[in-house]
Structure 1
Amino acid sequence: MKEKTVRYGIVGAGMMGTEHLINLRHLRCEGVAVVCVADPHLPSRQLAVDLAKSFDWPLKVFSGHLELLESGLCDVVVVSTPNITHYQILMDIINHPRPHHILVEKPLCTTVADCWKVIEAARKRPEMLVQVGLEYRYMPPIAKLIEIVKDGLLGHIKMVAIREHRFPFLVKVKNWNRFNSNTGGTLVEKCCHFFDLMRLFAGSNPVRVMASGGVDVNHKNEIYDGKVPDIIDNAYVIIEFENGSRGMLDLCMFAEGSKNEQEICVVGDIGKGEALVPESIVRISTRQDGRDGVRTLKAEDDRIKYQGLHHGSSYLEHLNFLSAIRHKGKRTPAVGLHDGLVSVAMGVAAQLSIEQGRFVSIKEVTSENKFKPSELF
């Protein structure tokens, strides 16, 4: 028996909105259709319409997300709008009389307080599934390394080191991503991905954070509405976890000449594993076998039909969420609201650490909210 078509609406038709549209197009054979899009920015709406037309997917177009919700056209809403807008859009979707499943781009929200309000609202709507777009988990080499760690091949994890050396932030509509007030700061906007991975690899929750970073190369000569961008372009971040594991992030956003954009190293008391992106290579070794015993694996996933901007991870993210939707009650989203919240809390703590030059505890950045820090986890 053929499964019912799952209808998607996309709120935010900029770079990531069109990326989701293309990924969903490649899932058409799985019974998916994008039926509508909402964006107040006319050029973005038109781009989505033209792109969908090339797929033979006629779109109903709205200037705002409330109109899209009222239309009743879609079963799932993908939120890919500027970070600062996530909170209100999510609350409007969750509180709408008609239930919609939600895939929201990272970060969940720009503040811990807003993340928690979204969680509280979603608890009252158990019929709705919400997945957070921390899709780096699905990149084949990273997914392979996660599997290696879960299988215990490295032993008890002691250290996680993640290096991202890459190009500067891309240009977005109205340059919203140039300012901390719109993004939550670079360590929330970009690095929530890596904090999420650290927590996965460590198998534990964060306790405190120390960071050093600055605005040293990028965007210093740019001015928007009389303001100079304030997002940092490089940082070192150290995370301490409850189980004694430590994580370290080495971020540089003016390193275009790097062979790999991400290099992830996980070391346990038995061995060491590495994942390289975009080379899609995984290396694994044990202390007993030493340097001569290092094995190199090519990480691939035959399910990927579209590589896109994130090496096939967005495609797998959608495939996973579609499965959760179709098997609701038996499966939950792989990346839930609490995952989104904790990754934001880690980024917020790191930003505060840079501002104040000290260790910042996770409890500190959550204590202003009306819940116990333990409820985060």
Structure 2
Amino acid sequence: MRNSDLDQKIIRYGIIGCGMMGQEHLRNIALLPGARVAAIYEPNELMANAAKAIAPNARLAMSIPDLLADDLDCLLVASPNHVHVDQLEEVARIRPLPVLMEKPLYTSPEQGARLEALRASYPAPVWVAMEYRYMPPIQTFLDEIERATGGVTMLTIREHRFPFLPKVGDWNRFNRNTGGTLVEKCCHFFDLMRLALKSDPVRVMASAGQAVNHLDEEYGGEVPDIWDTAYVIVDFASGARAMLELCMYAEGSRYQEELSAVGPAGKIEALVPGPGRFWPTHLGLPPVPQVIVSPRHPKGPQTVDIPVDPTLLAAGDHNGSTFYQHQRFLSVVRGAAETEVTLDDGAWAVRMGLAAQQSAVTGQAVTF
């Protein structure tokens, strides 16, 4: 089909996986002009019914081959982490459409090797869903980072948040399914580090573990092994350093994510609140995202509110970023733009997470 025809066509999505994150995608696709969900494959009956309630005109498919038999223009994959590579391989064999693939791209070194083979042969665009890039306060932070800092030498990302939520079959309670917390949750932040610093990592050091959450839970006779606390330090080829601080039992925080970048000219920060549905109503309205620029000369912090469209806030838990991500992905599907978050970006984020997991277990730095 010619690009001019795609410009006029309603883009038809096929969805693989419609749990909590998949349903957020459904709500955001519904807000996009020129797009609709045509078919959904979700093997869990409860989640399939919930997805059908959001997208009532979508067909419920019985399998991935059944889904791919529909008249589709692109796919969204939002299934559990450990099946992403299996499913992408299946799509590649049957009908390789443009794909928006939820993070993390894969969960183990063995899957990483299989992904490399796919990357060399997959004929359509694959966009890795790193939503944090598209949160309005973080976008502003990234847009202004060079001007504010004069070139970043130190980058800090802090996430103080709620514990992992329940998922279908409790798959997210075990490292074998998630890749580990520093892959599952923190690949977003490793992606932001590479993006902000415009450099690749050379060494990772981490201290992490399970301190508070899930210790009194049991599934099939197993206690969860997913971590809830971590410090990770990353050295980059550019000479810059970055640090991640994660705490998953700090849901009482005013802001969920706090980013800070410093360089010879000054400092810039982004303050990002967590999902509005978790904000205590007795405290009034949730906090508004902010960006703060603190030059060295003349001294004086400058704070700017970065409000997010309430409609987008209501559609998901990621400060509108899911909607903005889909806008850009649709431009790729229509042939009007290039993929912004590539398979290489997604693979680096997982490599960094796996290296951090290894460093925390062994007590040794991991080099690339």
TM-score norm. by structure 2 comes to: 0.91
Q: Secondary structure at the match of 2:54?
A: helix
Tell me, yes or no, if structure 1 residue 48 matches structure 2 residue 82.
no
Q: Secondary structure at the match of 2:163?
A: coil
Name which of 227, 233, 242 aligns with 1:238: 233
Q: Distance in 1 between matches of 2:359 and 2:24?
A: 33
1:260-300 deviation line (CA, Å, top 9, x unaligned): 0000001111110000002310001211122xx21111224
C-alpha contact 1:260 1:277 (8 A) present in aligned 2: yes
Q: Which residue of 2 aligns with 1:375?
A: none
Q: Secondary structure at the match of 1:235?
A: strand
Q: Distance in 2 between matches of 1:160 and 1:281?
A: 17
Aligned-partner residue type, residue 9 of structure 1? G
Tell me, yes or no, if structure 1 residue 296 matches structure 2 residue 303.
yes
1:66 Cα deviation (Å)?
A: 2.5
Q: Distance in 2 between matches of 1:301 and 1:172?
A: 27
Q: Distance in 2 between matches of 1:187 and 1:289?
A: 39
C-alpha contact 2:204 2:366 (8 A) present in aligned 1: yes
Q: Which residue of 2 aligns with 1:313?
A: 321
Name which of 190, 196, 204 aligns with 2:191: 196
Q: Decide whether aligned partners of structure 1 residues 181 and 209 sit closer, same or farther in structure 2, where only a CA change above 3 A counts.
A: same
Equivalent positions of 1:1-377 (< 5 A) are 3-27=8-32, 30-53=33-56, 58-69=57-68, 71-96=69-94, 98-126=95-123, 128-150=124-146, 152-278=147-273, 279-290=288-299, 293-300=300-307, 305-307=311-313, 308-328=316-336, 331-362=337-368
C-alpha contact 1:41 1:63 (8 A) present in aligned 2: no
Q: Distance in 2 between matches of 1:170 and 1:213?
A: 20
1:230-252 deviation line (CA, Å, top 9, x unaligned): 01100000000001100101100
Q: Which residue of 2 aligns with 1:371?
A: none
Q: Distance in 2 between matches of 1:193 and 1:301?
A: 20
1:128-169 deviation line (CA, Å, top 9, x unaligned): 11100111000011000100124x331121100010001100
Kindly report the root-mean-square deviation, in angstroms, between the aligned alpha carbons of the 2 structures: 1.6
Which ranges in structure 1 are unaligned for 5 or more consecutive residues? 363-377
C-alpha contact 2:156 2:242 (8 A) present in aligned 1: yes
Q: Distance in 2 between matches of 1:211 and 1:121?
A: 30
Query: Quick check: 152-161 or 3-12, which moved more?
Result: 152-161
Identical residues among aligned pairs (%) = 46
Q: Distance in 2 between matches of 1:271 and 1:230?
A: 40
C-alpha contact 2:74 2:333 (8 A) present in aligned 1: no
Q: Distance in 1 between matches of 2:339 and 2:140?
A: 19
Q: Distance in 2 between matches of 1:117 and 1:297?
A: 45
Q: Distance in 1 between matches of 2:198 and 2:119?
A: 25
1:256 Cα deviation (Å)?
A: 1.2
Q: Distance in 2 between matches of 1:192 and 1:99?
A: 25
Q: Secondary structure at the match of 1:223?
A: coil
1:116 Cα deviation (Å)?
A: 4.5
C-alpha contact 2:259 2:271 (8 A) present in aligned 1: yes
1:220 Cα deviation (Å)?
A: 0.2
1:113 Cα deviation (Å)?
A: 4.2
Equivalenced residue count is: 347
Q: Distance in 1 between matches of 2:138 and 2:213?
A: 28
